[in-house]
Amino acid sequence: MTIIYVIYYTVIIVQDLYGKPKDEKSQGESFDVSDMTDEEESIAVSESDGGFSVGDNQYETAYEEKQLAEPTEEAAATAEESKPHVLEKIQSAIEKKMEEVNTTYSDPMYSEELNNTIIARGLRHNGRDMVKVESLNNEI
């Protein structure tokens, strides 16, 4: 039975490769686009000092050249005086939110020692500083 299938598929493949193509209608659609050949014309755009033109239409633009006035000495002095004042306000607002911290040296520990310290609620061996342990289970 297997031999018959092999022979059958061999014949079919040979016919597909070397046989005459059959006249079949294609499944694709064809569209007539001969009436859609309207070409768009480009429009000239040019720019000048007083405006611009698009095609035959002229447009004028108003341009006001503003000269920057040089700051006077009084204005410069006032600006310099106001800068530290603003800085002091910001600094005092930040300092109100800050808290005082007692600095201590860095005391690193390995993960096993950290786990033991957490389990012991911050107690450490060898007279080292106690670690403050706060549980966040209830807050989460």
pLDDT in tens, 103-135: 766 777 788 888 888 888 877 777 777 777 777
Residue type, 136: L
In the chain, what are the domain boundaries?
A: 108-134
pLDDT in tens, 38-85: 677 788 888 888 788 888 888 888 766 666 666 666 666 666 666 667
CA distances from 128 to 58, 112, 115 (A): 87, 16, 16
